[in-house]
Amino acid sequence: MALLPILHYPDARLHKKAKPVAVVDDRIRRIVRDMAETMYAAPGIGLAATQVDIHERIVVIDVSENNDDLLVLINPVITWKSEETQVYEEGCLSVPGIYDEVKRAARIKVEATNEQGERYEFDAEGILAVCVQHELDHLEGKVFVEYLSPLKQSRIKTKLRKLEKV
């Protein structure tokens, strides 16, 4: 197992679109294990492969209180979104120290493949729905700050660039 370095916004590699996983093999399972370890160590509740510079459609999520309910989403797809929305204050391991409100669908249906290569489905609401939508955005090369105003985005870029130079 290994901790993977996390890319920080505004790194251009965060804007690459991830490719589908063709086959869930030991290489993919190793990436999943390393991503889970990296997420728990951070600590965070979700991590997309894009954030560790792996541009394949893999996400790990654990929104449980005791960090004992790991969700592995390979080639995830949101198959349904409610018209009802919710506003949630989001953060991101790639945007350290920045939290802001984003409006997203309140409830979603998700289809994904697990680390055994089996397709499964689930419904999500609340923080899990937020997290799935946030992580799937990463696979499209989108970071949550892109939902904020241009002024806020440029302030965040300036702040994070300063931090990286320290």
Task: List interacting residues with Ni ion (CB under 5 A).
Answer: 92
**What is the DSSP code (8-state) at residue 75?**
E
CA 61 to chain centre: 8
134 annotated ligand-binding residue? yes
Spatial separation of the C-alpha atoms in residues 27 and 54, rounded to whole Å: 12
131 annotated ligand-binding residue? no
Catalytic residue among 111, 135, 140, 146: 135
| 2 burial type by CB count under 10 A (0-12 exposed, 13-18 middle, 19+ buried) | exposed
* For Ni ion, the closer CB: 27 or 61: 61
- Listed in sequence order, the residues at least 6 apart from 88 whose beta carbon sits closer than 8 Å to its beta carbon are 101, 102, 104, 127, 130
Least distance (Å) from Ni ion to the CB of residue 100? 12
138 annotated ligand-binding residue? yes
Quick check: is 83 catalytic? no
Least distance (Å) from Ni ion to the CB of residue 39? 10
Least distance (Å) from Ni ion to the CB of residue 66? 22
* For Ni ion, the closer CB: 47 or 112: 47
Residue with nearest beta carbon to Ni ion: 92
* For Ni ion, the closer CB: 18 or 92: 92
Tokens (6 digits) for 48: 């997309």
* For Ni ion, the closer CB: 92 or 98: 92
Cα dihedral 135, 139, 145, 150 sign: negative
Least distance (Å) from Ni ion to the CB of residue 26? 27
> Count of CB atoms within 10 A of residue 45's CB?
21
Spatial separation of the C-alpha atoms in residues 30 and 39, rounded to whole Å: 14
Catalytic residues, by residue number, are: 135
User: Per the annotation, where are the binding residues?
Assistant: 92, 134, 138
